[in-house]
Amino acid sequence: MKRLFPILLPCLLALLVSLPARALVPEPPDLNVNSFVLFDFQSGQVIAEKNAHERVEPASITKIMTAFVAFDELQQGHVTMDDDVLISEKAWRTPGSRTFVEVGKKVGFRDLLHGSITQSGNDATVAIAEHIAGDESVFAQLMNQHAQQIGMKDTHFVNATGLPDPEHYTTAYDIALLARALIQTYPERYKIFSEREFTFGHRGEITQRNRNLLLQMDSTADGIKTGHTESAGYCLAGSAIRDGRRLISVVMGAGGPRQRAQDSKTLLDYGFRFFENVALFGAEKPVSQIQVWQGAVSEVAVGVPAPIVLTVPRGEADKLTVTPHIEGRAIAPLAAGQQVGTVTLSINDQTLRTLPLQTLQPVGEGSLLRRLIDAARLWLEG
C-alpha cells in the first residue's frame, strides 16, 4: 500500500480539483428586532424574513402610503405641485416630528411633500391629507383602498402620519409590497426619498436632515423611510441598487436609529452577496412542445409568454428544475395564450413558483381527414 500511495495521491488530487465547487449560502442574519423582511424588487420573492406577516405598528413608515396617495392624485391631475395649501389648526397642532408650518399660512404642496418625506413632518403630512381629501379620516379611506389594490392583506390605516392607534397596523411584508409598488409606479417621484436634507421656508430658515442613516452608511441606498414611536420602536424601510438589481429591506422594532440602519444594511449585504436573479421563459423560449389533435400542425410550443425573474441562492441556478403539467389534450383550434396546464419551478425540491402554461402560437383546425382520424384515435383511447 505504501508503494501505491505516491501513485494514487496525484490521481486523488486531480479528482478533487475536477469536482465542481459547491455554492456556500449561509443562513440569514439573526436580527434583534420584532420583524423584518428582505425582498427582491424584480422577482417579488422574499429572500429572508422574521415574523414578516406579524402585525406591528408602522409609525412614520405610514408616510410611504401617504406619498403613494399623493403621487396618485398628482398623476390624475387632482392636485399639482404648485398648489398653495392653507394650514389648518389641526395640522399645526399635530404632535410629533414637524416641518414647522404655521397655522393660517399657505404652503406649497411641493414643500409639504418634501417636509413629509424628508423631515417626516406630521404637520406637513396632515396638511397634505386635508388638501387632497378635506379630512384626514377620509384620506385614510383612500390609503386603505390603495392598500387593497396593492395586495396589503394585513394592513389598516386610520391616519396619514403613523401616530399610534389600536386600529393602525401593518406587517413588514406589506410594507415591502407598498415600497415595491411605489417605486414601480412612480420611479421619478420616488427620488424624493433619497434626499439627505430639506430646507423649509422662503428664506431658508429651517433645515432638517433625513433621519434615514442608511443613506449615509450605504452609497447604493436610495431610500426609503424611517419610523419611530415608543410603542413601535425604531423602524426602517430601506432600498438599494447594486449592479442594476434592487433589494428592499424592512426592519420593524429595532432598538435605536443606528441599529435599524445597520440591520437594514446587513440584510441588503446578505441578499446581494448570496442571491442572484435568473431570467426565464418568454415568447422565444418555450418550455416544451405538446401534441395537438385535429389541428393544422401536430405540435405546438407551450410556455410562459412574458419573461419572468426568479431569485435563487448564489451558484444554484443550474439546479433549477422546470416541470410542466399538461391538463387534458390540446384539441384544435387553439388560440395563442390559451392555458393548457401549469409549469412548476423548483430548486432543491422547494417550489419557488407555479405559473400558467400557455400556447405560444395559434393552431387552426386541420383538414377533414385529419380531424376524422384524430377523432377516431381519441375515441379509441377513451
Angstrom distance (rounded) from CA 60 to CA 261? 15
Judge if 44 and 79 occupy the same domain.
yes
Judge if 88 and 163 occupy the same domain.
yes
- Tell me how far the alpha carbon of residue 131 is from its chain's centroid: 29
**Does any domain span residue 306?**
yes
Q: Residue 347: is the preceding peptide bond cis (ω within 30°)?
A: no
Judge if 151 and 293 occupy the same domain.
no
Among residues 245, 275, 305, the one where a domain terminates is 275
Q: Residue 333: is the preceding peptide bond cis (ω within 30°)?
A: yes
**Does any domain span residue 81?**
yes
Judge if 46 and 132 occupy the same domain.
yes
Q: What is the pLDDT of residues 120-145, one digit of tens each?
A: 999 999 999 999 999 999 999 999 99
Judge if 302 and 247 occupy the same domain.
no
Domain coverage including residue 68 = 35-199+208-275
Q: Which of 39-48, 75-84, 241-250, 348-357 has the lowest mean pLDDT?
A: 348-357
**Does any domain span residue 29?**
no
**Does any domain span residue 8?**
no
Angstrom distance (rounded) from CA 45 to CA 248? 10
Judge if 256 and 295 occupy the same domain.
no
Residue 376: give its domain's CATH number.
2.60.410.10
pLDDT at 10 over 60: no
Residues serving a catalytic function are: 60, 63, 120
Judge if 258 and 285 occupy the same domain.
no
Total domains, the chain: 2
Q: Which of 38-52, 172-186, 324-338 has the lowest mean pLDDT?
A: 324-338
Residue 77's SS3 state is coil
Residue 234's SS3 state is strand
Angstrom distance (rounded) from CA 44 to CA 180? 8
How many helices (DSSP H) and strands (DSSP E) are in the chain? 10, 17
DSSP-assigned letters across all residues of 5-18? HHHHHHHHHHHHHH
Cell numbers representing residue 168 in the block: 393602525
Q: What is the pLDDT of residues 192-250, one digit of tens each?
A: 999 999 999 756 678 999 999 999 999 999 999 999 999 999 999 999 999 999 999 99
Higher per-residue confidence, 108 vs 369 = 108
Judge if 268 and 300 occupy the same domain.
no
**Region 176-188 average pLDDT:** 98
Residue 194's SS3 state is helix
Assign 253 a pLDDT band (cuts: 50, 70, 90).
very high
Angstrom distance (rounded) from CA 127 to CA 328? 59
What percent of the chain clears pLDDT 90, i.e. is strictly above it? 82
Residue 135's SS3 state is coil
Judge if 345 and 373 occupy the same domain.
yes
Q: What is the pLDDT of residues 13-60, one digit of tens each?
A: 444 444 445 568 899 999 999 999 999 999 999 999 999 999 999 999
**Does any domain span residue 361?**
yes
C-alpha closest to that of 171 among 46, 55, 36: 55
Judge if 111 and 213 occupy the same domain.
yes
**Does any domain span residue 70?**
yes
Among residues 225, 259, 275, the one where a domain terminates is 275
Angstrom distance (rounded) from CA 121 to CA 237? 17
What is the predicted pLDDT for the residue at 86? 97
Torsion, Cα 50 54 58 63, to 10 degrees, reads 90
Judge if 246 and 296 occupy the same domain.
no
| pTM metric for this prediction | 0.88
Higher per-residue confidence, 374 vs 161 = 161
Judge if 237 and 97 occupy the same domain.
yes
What is the predicted pLDDT for the residue at 366? 79
